[in-house]
Structure 1
Amino acid sequence: MVNGLFTISLKDATGEKSAAVRSKEADLAPDHGPQLYVGDEQSQTVLTAFDAVLDRQPFCNPLVITGAGSVGKTLLAHGIADCWKRRYPAENVLITTGADFLRGYTNAVRSHNTYRFRRQFMKLGLLVIDDLQMLNHRASAQSQLAQLIDSMVRRGQFVVCTLPSTLAQAHGLEETLVSRLFGGLQLPLSAPSEESMLFLLDELASQRGIELDTTLGKLLIRGEAGCPSPIKTVPQLRRALIRLQMNAELSGSPITRVLIREYLKGEYLNQLPTCRDITSIVAKRLNVRMGDLKGKSRRQYLSRARGIAMMLCRTFTAESYTAIGKYFGGRDHSTVMNACEKT
C-alpha cells in the first residue's frame, strides 16, 4: 500500500469467456485504460473481500459486487478470476454474463438438455457472472441459478456476481435467488476517491506518453470555482485525457491550464439541462402542455407554471434572462426576471 492506496492488478484472465465478456474486456485493454483497481483507506473492505475469496473463505461465497456504472465492478470481478487461475492453475474458471447465462439456459430448455447445461458448471473452481440484472423477471432462469449456486457452494466452488444495485434494491430478482445471494457477502463499490483518480491519471498519462504535473492533474479532477469538474469515473477520466491530448497536439503545445479550463467548461455546460428539458418536466408534473407554457395565455395556473419553469431555467441552465424569454414565446428579459422573483 502506497500513500494509503492499494492496487489490484487485472491481467488477461485465462478462464473461458463468452463473446459478450470478450467485448467488455476490449474496454480494459492497455490502449483504453489502466488494468488496475485502485482503492484507498475508505475501501479496505474491497481488498479484504478480494483476499478472502482467493483464500476460499466460506463467508464470502457467493460474492456479490454492487455499484453504479463505471465504478470497477467488472474490473474487480475479472481481477479475481485472473488471480484465481494463477493461484489454482488446475481449476477451471468461467466468466460469463447474465445475458449469456439466460441464453444458454433458454437453449438448454428448448433442446431438453438442462442436465448438460448444469453439468458444465460442476467442473468449475470459480464462476463469474457479470451484469446479473440481465436475469431480471426471468423466474425460471433465476431458479436454475439459485439451485446451481447451492450446489457449487456445497462443493466448495466459488461464485462471483456483479449488480448495479444492492440486493435489497434488486426488484427484478426472485426471492429465492436473492436469499441465496444474501448467504454470502455483498461488496458495494463507490466512485473512486480524489487520491485514487490522481493515481489513475498518472497511470493513464504514462501509458499515453503525456507529461502532466500534479497541479494540472488536480485541476482536471477538482475543477475550480465556477467550473466544477464533471469527471467522476475512470472512463470519463480516460476520455478527458484523450481529448486534451488531441487538443494539445492540434495547438502544437503541451497540455496547459487554459486547455483544461476550456475542456472542463465545455463538459460542464454539456451536462446542464436545457430549457426544453426543464419545460418538459414542469409540464408533466403540473399537467399542462409545453405549448401553453410558451404561449400567451395569462390564466393564473399557467402563469404560475410558466414562472416556475422560468425560474428553474435560470437556476439550472447557463442561459441569460434574454435567452430564456426568447424561448418562452419571445418575452423580454424583464418579464423573466419578474417571474423568477415572484416564484
Structure 2
Amino acid sequence: MEPTHASAGTTQSQDSETWAQIKAEIRAAYGDDIFTSWFARIDFESASDTTVNLSTPTSFIRHWVQQHYAADVMQRWRAVRPGTREVLFKVRSALRPQPRAPRASGPAAVAPNTVEQTAGVAAPRRQIDAPQSNPNTAGGLEGSALEPRFTFNTFVEGSSNQLAVAAAKKVAFAQPGERAAYNPLFVTGGVGLGKTHLLQAIAGAATAVNPARRTLYLTAEHFMYRFVSAVMNRNTISFKDILRDIDVLLIDDIQFLNGQKVQEEFGHTLTTLVDSQRQVVIAADRAPADLEGLDARVRSRLGGGLLVELTPPDYTMRKAILEQRIKAQQEMFEELVFPDEVIDFVARSITTNGRDLDGAINRLVAHNQLTSAPIDLKMAENALRDLLRARESKKPKIEDIQRVTSQHFNVSRQDLVSARRTKVIVRPRQIAMYLSKTLTPRSLPEIGRRFGNRDHTTVLHAVRKVEELIQKDQQMAEDIETLKRLLDQ
C-alpha cells in the first residue's frame, strides 16, 4: 500500500505536530476569539509531497476560512514544508464517514434523521445530505461556494434595489447568442444590502437557464488565491485560458483585490471578456472611481459599464424582508408566532440593512426557543436593546437635520431659518421641520424657535404637508428616505 498520508521525509505524526504549531502561531497572530471561532476545530488529515489536507466540522467554517485565511495558512505551511503547493479544506463528514444505522430494505428506505444543536436551540429535523460537488465550476476551475438560499426568489425587491434587480435578471436570463447586457455590470452598496446575494442569484440562474453557459462566481480573495496558486504551480497560461473562455464571470468584493500582478491579470481578463462580448459582473462597497487601491485602468474599464446601487431599504421593504425571514423560521418551528406589532416595531427600529434584520429575527427566535416565552413587544425591546441603544445614540440633532437638508437641496442653512418664502426655500424648510419632529424628541414650539422663531402651528402645518406629499409624490418620498439615511450615517 502506498504511503499517501505523509509527505516524503515526514510522518503523519510529524505533520500533525506541524499543524498544531501553525495553530499556535495563528492564535498568537489573530487572538483567542478568531482562533476559537474558526481554527480550533480544524484538524490535520493527511499530506503528500505537495498537498496538505485539513478538515473542518462544517461547510460554513470551511468556506469562511478559505475566503479569509487560506493564503495565510498556505504561507505558514510553506515556511515549514517548502514543497507545499496546495492546502485543501474539506468538511469532516465527507472525510470520516460515520457508522450507519441499520437500514430498512426496499426502495422506500431513507437515511436516518438527525437533530442538530446550536447554542442550545434544537434545530428542526432534517435528512442528512450526501456531500455534493461544487456546481460553480468552469473549465475545471472551481469557483467560490454558492449559498443555495441566494436566489432571485428569496431576494426581496423594493424601491432601493429595483434597477439593480432588473439589470441582474437581464444578465442572468440572457438567451444564447444574445449580446452581453450592461457590460460590465457593476453592483455597489454598503454592508448587508444584498450584493453577494444578487451576484450568486445571477450565477445560479444563468447556469439553470443555459447549462452550456460557462459561469463562474469568485470572490476577489478567491481570485487572488487561484492566481497565486497558478503562479506557484507554473500553470498561469492554463489559468488565463480558462478565465478568458468563460461566458459569465462574477467577481465579488473587488475592493479586496490586492497586488500589482493580480490586478494586471484581472485587468487583462476584464478587457478580453468585455471585448469578446462575454458578460462580466462586479460587486464592491463603493463605485469604481472611489476604489483607490485599484489600478487606474481597471477603474476606468469598470466605470465604462452600468453602475447600479443598492441602498438601505425603506420601511415597506424592511417589513417585507422580515415577513420573508419569519416565514422561513416558521417552516422550521411550526408553533412560532410573530405578532404584527412586533414586526412593525422591528421594521421601524432596525433601519440599516437586511443582515441586521436577519439578526433581529434570529435573536427573537432564539429567546423564544430557549425560554418558551412568547414573542411580544416586551421581549423585542429586551432582546434588541443593544441595537436600540445604538440607534438612540445616533439620533440626529436639529442642527444636523438643517445641515444635511440644506446640502441636499443646495440651499444655505441661513435660508432655512430666514423669513424668505420662495418655493425653492419653503419646501426644504418644511422637510427639515418634518424630520425634526419625527427624528428628535423636540416639541413643536422648540422646533419653531430653531427655525427663525416660527409659531408651533407653522411647524405642525409643515409636518402635515410633508406627510401628505409623501403619499402622493414619489420624489418626495425618496428625498425623505435619502435624508434619513444620510442622518443615520
User: Scaled by the length of structure 1, what TM-score is found?
Assistant: 0.65
Deviations along 1:12-31, whole A, 9 cap, x unmatched? 99432988832x73xx649x
Deviation of the 1:81 alpha carbon = 0.8
Partners of 2:165 and 2:198 within 8 A in 1: no
Match of 2:283 in 1: 162
Structure showing greater Rg: 2
Deviation of the 1:247 alpha carbon = 2.2
Aligned pair partner of 1:188 in 309, 316, 321: 309
Deviation of the 1:42 alpha carbon = 4.6
Three-state SS of the structure 1 residue aligned to 2:384 is: helix
Deviation of the 1:34 alpha carbon = 10
TM-aligned CA distance change 1:250 to 1:98, over 3 Å: closer
Match of 1:221 in 2: 347
Deviations along 1:143-185, whole A, 9 cap, x unmatched? 1111111111222211111111111111100111111112211
Match of 2:383 in 1: 263
Provide the C-alpha distance between the structure 2 equivalents of 1:253 and 1:190, rounded to a whole number of angstroms: 35
Match of 2:161 in 1: 43
Match of 2:15 in 1: none
For the aligned residues, what is the CA RMSD? 2.8
Deviation of the 1:251 alpha carbon = 4.3
TM-aligned CA distance change 1:252 to 1:109, over 3 Å: closer
Deviation of the 1:265 alpha carbon = 2.7
TM-aligned CA distance change 1:194 to 1:159, over 3 Å: same
Deviations along 1:13-65, whole A, 9 cap, x unmatched? 9432988832x73xx649xx996221223532123312332335545111111
Match of 1:130 in 2: 252
Provide the C-alpha distance between the structure 2 equivalents of 1:272 and 1:34, rounded to a whole number of angstroms: 34
After alignment, is 13-22 or 245-254 more displaced?
13-22
Deviations along 1:286-335, whole A, 9 cap, x unmatched? xxxxxxxxxxxxxxxxxxxxxxxxxxxxxxxxxxxxxxxxxxxxxxxxxx
Match of 1:140 in 2: 261
Provide the C-alpha distance between the structure 1 equivalents of 2:165 and 2:238, rounded to a whole number of angstroms: 36
Aligned AA (1:120): I
Aligned pair partner of 2:365 in 208, 231, 245: 245
Aligned AA (2:323): D
Aligned AA (2:212): A
Partners of 2:136 and 2:143 within 8 A in 1: no
Match of 2:212 in 1: 90
Aligned AA (2:159): E
Percent of aligned pairs with the same residue?
24
Aligned AA (2:355): P
Aligned pair partner of 2:356 in 218, 221, 236: 236
Provide the C-alpha distance between the structure 2 equivalents of 1:84 and 1:257, rounded to a whole number of angstroms: 43
Three-state SS of the structure 2 residue aligned to 1:244 is: helix
Alignment map for 1:17-96 (pairs within 5 Å): 21-22=144-145, 25=147, 29=149, 36-54=154-172, 55=174, 56-58=178-180, 60-96=182-218
Partners of 1:126 and 1:159 within 8 A in 2: yes
After alignment, is 62-71 or 102-111 more displaced?
102-111
Provide the C-alpha distance between the structure 2 equivalents of 1:243 and 1:40, rounded to a whole number of angstroms: 25
Provide the C-alpha distance between the structure 1 equivalents of 2:277 and 2:223, rounded to a whole number of angstroms: 21
Deviations along 1:210-239, whole A, 9 cap, x unmatched? 3223322111111xxxxxx24522222222
State the number of aligned residues. 250
Deviation of the 1:116 alpha carbon = 1.0
Match of 2:413 in 1: none
Three-state SS of the structure 2 residue aligned to 1:41 is: coil
Provide the C-alpha distance between the structure 2 equivalents of 1:178 and 1:53, rounded to a whole number of angstroms: 21
Three-state SS of the structure 2 residue aligned to 1:89 is: coil
After alignment, is 173-182 or 189-198 more displaced?
189-198
Structure 1 unmatched runs, 5+: 1-11, 223-228, 274-343
TM-aligned CA distance change 1:52 to 1:170, over 3 Å: same
Aligned AA (1:219): F
Deviations along 1:251-275, whole A, 9 cap, x unmatched? 43321111112233332236778xx
TM-aligned CA distance change 1:249 to 1:122, over 3 Å: closer
Structure 2 unmatched runs, 5+: 1-132, 331-335, 394-489
Partners of 2:190 and 2:286 within 8 A in 1: yes
Three-state SS of the structure 2 residue aligned to 1:36 is: coil
Partners of 1:34 and 1:203 within 8 A in 2: no
Provide the C-alpha distance between the structure 2 equivalents of 1:205 and 1:211, rounded to a whole number of angstroms: 9
Instruction: Specify which structure has the bigger relative contact order, considering alpha-carbon pairs within 8 angstroms and separated by 6 or more residues.
Output: 1
Aligned AA (1:82): G
TM-aligned CA distance change 1:19 to 1:233, over 3 Å: farther
Deviation of the 1:188 alpha carbon = 1.2
Deviation of the 1:205 alpha carbon = 1.2
Partners of 1:15 and 1:94 within 8 A in 2: yes
* Greater fraction of residues in helix: 1
TM-aligned CA distance change 1:42 to 1:98, over 3 Å: closer
